[in-house]
Structures are given as C-alpha cells and as structure tokens.
Amino acid sequence: MTRCLALLFFFVLAVMPDTALAGRRVALLIGNSDYAKVPRLANPGRDVGLLKQTLQKAGFDAVDTVVDADRAGMIAALRRFQASASGADIAVIYFSGHGIEIGGENYLVPTDAHLTSDRDVQDETLALSRVVESTDGAGQLKLVILDACRNNPFLARMARTRGTRSVGKGLARVEPEGDNVLVAYAAREGSVALDGNGINSPYAQALARYLTQPGLDIRLALGKVRDDVLSATDRQQTPFFNGSLGGDVITLAPAGGGQVAMVPPAEPSPPVEPPPRKQTKFTPLAVPPSLFQNGGAGTMPRMTDPRVWQVVKDVDMPDVIEEFRDRYRDSRDAGAAEERLKQLLGVSELDPLPPPAGERIPAPETECDRIGAAPLDPDTVMRRTRAASSKEIVAACEAALKQYPRERRFMHQLGDALADAGQNDKALGMNLRAGIAGSQGGWISSGRLFKARAGGASNPDGNSSISLTMAWQQPLGSFFFKRGFVEPFERLRGKAGVTRELSKAAAAGDQAANVWIGYMYLFGFNVPKDYAKGMAALDKARLPRPEDTGIHLALMLKTGYGVRQDVKDALEEFGKAQKADNSYATYQLALMYLDGLGVPQNYAAAARMMGDAAVGGDPRSVDDILANFGKWPREYRVVLQQELLKRNLIEGKADGELSPGMTEELRKLAPMPTAPVAAAP
C-alpha cells in the first residue's frame, strides 16, 4: 500500500503543471499619475493595470495595486507588502511615476510631494533603499522595477540649498545591498525615460511582453526588454539593471506555467529632432553583429571558416586549452584538445568535463565594468564611471571572474587590464579564453598581443591575422582594423562580382554588407566614388549603442578623408556624440577648441573638455596630455592643470609644468583601449 501511494505521488508530480510546484510569488504595483504640484502623467495608472494582468496570468499568488498614492499611502502599501513577501520565493515591486536623484541617492515621489527645496526630499519622498527593504523576506529573487526616470518637472522649481549636493535629471546607478536583489531602471543613469504616446509607456509594454515568458531567466528577460525599448524609442531610451544574483536560472514564470499577457508591439515614441544639418543622416561603422550565438558549452560558433583550434593549438597555456575543451566538446577538434591538455599537464587522464552550460546569461554589472568596461565591445553593459589604474582594474575583474567564472566579458576586460599592466602573456591567455567563449573583443586583443609577441611583424597567415579575422567574421569576408579603417578592402579591389554579391547580402538584411557597400562608395573600391550612395548604405547599418553615433563620420569630415572636409559638420557630429556621454567625442572637441578648428580658439573650453574626456575613461586624452603637454601654449597648460586638479586627477599646483608626480598619476589613468575608433590615417 505504501509503495502504491508513493507511485501515485510521483505520478501526480509528473502530470502537475510547473506552476503548481513553483514557490510563492507576490507583487506590489504602484502607479502615480495625478501629482498635486506638477502636470499629470498619462500612463502610470494604465501601466500598473497592464502589469497586474501580466503577473496574474503568470500565476502570481498575490498582486497588490496602488494608484495615485500619497506618501502615507505608499508607506502603508510597502508595509503590507513586506508582510506578504515574508517567506515568499519571489517578490516584485514595480513603480511608475516620478523619481529623483540627489547626491547619488534615488527617491520615489508620492503624489502629494511639493519639493520646493532639496531639503524637502527626505520628508516628502521615499528612498529607494526603503522600497528594496520591503522585499527582504523573499528567498529566491527580490526584484524592484523603476519606470521612474521621466523628465522631472520638480527639478526646475526646486531650490538648491547645499552646494555639494548634486541633483540629477534621472536616477543614479546604485548597487543594491543584500543577496538575490535586482533593481531594473527604465533608462540609463542620469537620463530620462519616455512616457510614450501610446496607451502604455514603452518600458511597461516591453516588461509585459517578456517578464513572465515561461522558463526565461529574469536577466535574459530584462535584456530583451532593453532591446525592445531601444527599438521602440528610436534608441533614445536605454533600460538597464544591476544587482547581486548568483548563477542559478531564475524565472518569474516556470516553463509550462501560466500564460503570458499578449501585448502588441510597442508604438515608437516620436524621436527628438536633431539640429538640421546638410549631410545625409549617417549611422557609422561599429562592431558588426556578433559572430557567435549565445550558446552554452559545446555550441560551435557559426563561422564560415572555423579556425579557433588553429589559433590556440600551439599555445602553451593549459587554461586556454581547457576553455576550448569545455566550449567545443562536440567539435571535430575536441580529441586533439584533450591530447594537447594532457601533454601540457603531464597527465595520462583528465578529469571529466562538467555538464554543458545552457544559454549564456550575462552577469550583472560589477566593479570590473564600472572601472574596466571595454567601450566598443558588443558585450559591454555600461560606460566606465571613473578612471582607475590597471592594478585596480585587474583586482576588480579577477574578483568578478571568480564570482562568474564563465563570463566572457570579465575575461576580456581582465585581459586588457593585464596587458596595460605589462603582463602580456597572461593578457593573451585571458583574451584567448574570452574569444573561445564568444567575445569579439577577446579576439581583437588576442590578435594585437600575438602581433606584439612577434615583434610587430606583419604575418597575414599567422595567429594575429586569424584572431582578428575571427573577431569580424561575416558571410562575405572579415573585418579588422588597420589604423582605424577596414583593411580587407585592398583585397577586394578589382575583383569581379563583389559589388553584386554585397548588394544581394544587403538586400537579405546583412548589416555588415551595408557597411562594406558604404565604404566601397566612399573610398572608390570597385566602384566610382559616390558620397551620397556611401552615406545611404551606411545609414542602413545599425549601431549596437547610440552613443557612438556620428563619431566615424565626424572624423572623416574633420580630416577630409574619403569625403569633402567640413569642420563645422564635424563639430556638429562630435557634439551629438558628446551629449550621449561619448568621451572620445569630448576629446576630439577639446582638440578642435584648442586648435581653433571650425570654432574660435578657446583654451578654457578645450581644457574643460580634455578633463571631462580623461574622467570619462578615454585613454587617448591622457596619452595626449602625457605626450604633448610641454608643446602646448603655457596659457592652455595652466588652465588644463586647473581642470585636472578640480577632478582630483593630479596633485600639485597649476604652474604650467608637469611634475614627475603628476606624470605618474596620469600614467595610471591610461588604460589599453579595447578596440580603436575608426580614425583617418
């Protein structure tokens, strides 16, 4: 009888839906539209309704909604939720409305807030930390979602009483404390989210579409939300998230669970009109679409010419061969990798491989990203937030990789920091591991390091060329840089059928083919030079990040390389990129103001922008200061030192002389760039 009951129990388990086995899931949704002292927001109430429907259909045990809550109402709702979340597996809080950042702290604004002064913030709003605290009782996931980065009318009317207290237009990036906490923001740090012209905000639409997709890890879901919002807002709004989750897959709706609310595609918000310009709109060359799918271990890269083993087979680094053995366990070279690893380790048998990993889930942001992010790598999740020495970056990335040992982004960033610290062999090993794991930046840096090993000799058949080729592999050829521009055009010159084949690929949706066509027309390879056709083709290729917009065209316009020289249009393009916090664009503007190129010469403006670029993590600005400081006019040297002193980048006095101590401090700020911005020769 006991045996029969046991069999019956397991049979019931087998046929029960996943949701029946899922732990308790609770949510609190707050939507504030009707503010007492500022204009009404259109969508928060409707956003709450949409997400309530989404979570209920996914089988959430309790979904509490609060609309137009004053401070007392928000506190009461959080207290109720704190009790509800105690003992739950998953606790979710969503807030739609106004938020404000002061002195690096984030606050959510109730409907009865007046905020006539920054002193009122503590008494009239709720700190984000208080909201996160309300999820403390949940065990598996504590998720707080903030659709609260809207352009804030409180800021214009708020009196500032403390000079040292910054007030931001969006929300700040704050690392949440505690385990299993994730905080998702509708827009990147310091920027604003759009309320949208549709029934719901673009962010809420995307959340409803992906948040409860059965079996989808929450980090992947939020990544899909980001992509959706970027598309819906014409790349004006970039959601992000950070937190402290481990390596387990965490889903809001288990595979086979409740239904997901069906949401129509988000309606694009009207784009902000850029200043009028004479040139055709241009979207410049950046890192092409990834060569690798985000497959787990054992998934071969989708390459037309699989040469990974050719690159690594003779490398005397066991970690690199082990990485290949793990990631390429089903490849034709797996046996050769095992034999090579035995040889390197001096053993006759190897330990069994762990089970293959599933779909790659990018690790959350860490200090490795904040101080060592690779600016042009497709895996990059953020900009650097401060300058740091290579020693600091190495330590931060080693810690991140210890916590997330399969994260290729951390391998690549650690590799570049090691190269900057002069540890080239370790740097090569780490970047090769990153490349094997699917990092384009890893292959690029590996190519450079191979070339450095050979004393800078050019070997088109060697590891340097192969590594770079794999980084940029596309169906019709390989992309890699020579002095900033694509080298393989020389190989295409005069070859029959190239333009026709590229046109076919472009018509089939290959963005890289559009890049090739654009540059062929600009530089006159295989076709007569045609500026208009070149710009039109380049406009069809999309960038992975909006902050790079205009950089490549601006460099061409500044120098007259490939196009007619137009320094005023170059200034305009650099200005657009600078507004998106692109530190390289800021550096280029500094040079133009320093030289009086297209603008009246202005040493104060040039110095301010050079300092901003250095703080923003652009290595070329620091390199330029170190190389050319003594050549610049004394007046500029003094104001530049003043700007560097303000930013705590150097110590001493502004006397127009770069002391040994200042030189040493600046050298610590000059990291190795991961991928060059295309620059005219």
Q: Are 26 and 84 within 8 A, CB to CB?
A: yes
Q: Which residue has the higher pLDDT, 241 or 193?
A: 241
Question: Looking at the whole model, is its pTM more than 0.85?
Answer: no
Instruction: Give the 3-state secondary structure of residue 389.
Output: coil
Among 264-273, 352-361, 438-447, name the most confident range: 438-447
* H or E segment to which residue 94 belongs: strand 90-96
Q: Which residue has the higher pLDDT, 266 or 550?
A: 550
- Output the pLDDT for position 261: 35
Q: Are 35 and 111 within 8 A, CB to CB?
A: yes
Q: CA–CA separation, 111 vs 131, rounded Å? A: 16
Q: Are 404 and 363 within 8 A, CB to CB?
A: yes
Place of tokens 């996931």: 141
* Mean pLDDT calculated for residue range 481-503: 50
pLDDT above 60: residue 259: no
The chain-wide mean pLDDT, for the chain, equals 73
pLDDT above 50: residue 462: no
- Output the pLDDT for position 543: 40
- Output the pLDDT for position 439: 81
CATH code: domain 308-471 is 1.25.40
Among 97-101, 371-375, 426-430, 672-676, name the most confident range: 426-430
Q: Are 155 and 172 within 8 A, CB to CB?
A: no
The percentage of the chain sitting over the pLDDT mark of 70, rounded to a whole number, equals 66
pLDDT above 60: residue 22: no
pLDDT digits (tens, 9 = 90+) for 68-86: 999 999 999 999 999 999 9
* Mean pLDDT calculated for residue range 389-394: 92
Measured at the alpha carbon of residue 154, what is the angle toward residues 148 and 158, in degrees to the nearest 5? Answer: 140
Confidence of residue 327 (pLDDT cuts 50, 70, 90): confident
Confidence of residue 423 (pLDDT cuts 50, 70, 90): very high
- Output the pLDDT for position 496: 56
* Mean pLDDT calculated for residue range 242-255: 82
Phi, psi of 266 (to 5 degrees): -60, 140
Instruction: Give the 3-state secondary structure of residue 554.
Output: helix
β-strands 105-108, 99-102: how paired? antiparallel
Which one, of 493, 494, 456, 489, lies nearest residue 472 by Cα?
489
Q: CA–CA separation, 58 vs 261, rounded Å? A: 8
Confidence of residue 358 (pLDDT cuts 50, 70, 90): low
Instruction: Give the 3-state secondary structure of residue 3.
Output: helix
Q: Are 212 and 252 within 8 A, CB to CB?
A: yes
- Output the pLDDT for position 464: 47
Confidence of residue 191 (pLDDT cuts 50, 70, 90): low
Q: CA–CA separation, 269 vs 231, rounded Å? A: 10
Amino acid 386 reads R
Q: Give the distance, in angstroms, between the CA of residue 58 and the centroid of all CA atoms in the same chain.
A: 29
Q: Are 191 and 172 within 8 A, CB to CB?
A: no
Q: Which residue has the higher pLDDT, 245 or 415?
A: 415
Instruction: Map out the domains of the chain as residue ranges.
Output: 25-243, 279-291+472-544, 308-471, 561-681
Q: CA–CA separation, 650 vs 666, rounded Å? A: 7
pLDDT digits (tens, 9 = 90+) for 271-312: 333 333 333 222 222 322 222 222 222 233 333 335 678 778
Place of tokens 């035995």: 342
Among 135-139, 240-244, 454-458, 671-675, name the most confident range: 135-139
Lowest mean pLDDT among 53-67, 146-160, 332-346, 422-436: 146-160
Three-class SS of 421-452:
CCCHHHHHHHHHHHHHCCCHHHHHHHHHHHHH
Q: Give the distance, in angstroms, between the CA of residue 8 and the centroid of all CA atoms in the same chain.
A: 50
Which one, of 400, 459, 462, lies nearest residue 434 by Cα?
400
- Output the pLDDT for position 427: 93
β-strands 105-108, 25-31: how paired? unpaired
pLDDT digits (tens, 9 = 90+) for 149-175: 655 667 655 665 554 334 444 565 556
DSSP string for residues in 634-665 = HHHHHHHHHHHHHTTSS-S--SS---HHHHHH
Confidence of residue 620 (pLDDT cuts 50, 70, 90): confident
* Mean pLDDT calculated for residue range 476-482: 31
Q: What is the CA radius of gyration of the chain?
A: 27
* Mean pLDDT calculated for residue range 359-387: 77
Lowest mean pLDDT among 168-177, 432-441, 543-552: 543-552
Which one, of 531, 505, 501, 500, lies nearest residue 518 by Cα?
531
CA atoms within 13 A on the CB side of 109: 34
Under 8 Å CB-to-CB from 331, ≥6 apart: which residues?
Answer: 300, 306, 309
pLDDT digits (tens, 9 = 90+) for 498-545: 677 777 767 766 555 676 677 677 666 667 877 677 767 766 654 434
Name the DSSP class of 208. H
Under 8 Å CB-to-CB from 622, ≥6 apart: which residues?
Answer: 387, 614, 666, 669, 670
* Mean pLDDT calculated for residue range 202-215: 90
Q: Which CATH architecture has domain 25-243?
A: 3-Layer(aba) Sandwich (3.40)
Phi, psi of 353 (to 5 degrees): -70, 150
pLDDT above 90: residue 589: yes
pLDDT digits (tens, 9 = 90+) for 26-37: 999 999 988 888
